[in-house]
Amino acid sequence: MAAVLPLAWFARPAEVVAPALLGQVLVRQFAEGQPVLRSLIVETEAYTPEDPACHGYRRKTARNAAMFGPPGTVYVYQIYGRYHCLNLATDREGAASAVLIRALALPGGAGDRDAAGPGKLCQVLQIDRSLNGSIACVGQPLWVEAGSHDPGATIVQTTRIGLSQGRDLPWRWYLAGHPAVSRPAPVAGQTQKAR
């Protein structure tokens, strides 16, 4: 059986945990006793206390309280009035630190890009704010298991998406060439336009 990542695994800075989550397995259980849905994490972003783009940059509020929680706390917020985004709190309790899960590879059958984006993956996995504040461990709606290590996997590090502040921090990571990545960075030496 796959090893469940212990909560202590998340007790590191977000910019360390974010790339380490690539290739791990996000497990969703819709109800106790129900079968689980396992998906590969293929894209993440890091947010830290000193980061102006972080929701907890200014202060702790009712909305962002979960990202100040103990490592492994689930932080879900709604954006643009129609989508949800899934994060896992990292570092230590009291620190506004979290990793945004941006894309998943769903198990067989599902379309390659059905979970290619933070809003889309929450729709597919039925993640909303009812999960906010839960803990990522077995018996809860969501947890993470160790994925099988792929020695050939290349990780790409680049800038984050959709921000108005902190644009320059290279805190987005994804598995190179994976079809579920939401927005692959431009490849050097390749023209944007087909010809």
Residues that bind DNA (CB under 7 A): 45, 47, 53-56, 58-59, 61-64, 67, 75, 78-83, 85, 87, 98, 100, 117-121, 160-164, 182
CB of 178 to DNA, least distance (A): 15
Nearer of residues 5 and 98 to DNA, judged by Cβ? 98
Closest by CA position to 144, among listed 81, 191, 90, 64:
90
- Which residues contact residue 18 at a Cβ distance below 8 angstroms, ignoring those fewer than 6 apart? 44, 45, 46, 99, 171, 173
Nearer of residues 129 and 150 to DNA, judged by Cβ? 129
CB 85 within 8 A of CB 66: no
Nearer of residues 3 and 162 to DNA, judged by Cβ? 162
- Which residues contact residue 154 at a Cβ distance below 8 angstroms, ignoring those fewer than 6 apart? 175, 176, 177
CB of 119 to DNA, least distance (A): 3
Nearer of residues 76 and 135 to DNA, judged by Cβ? 76
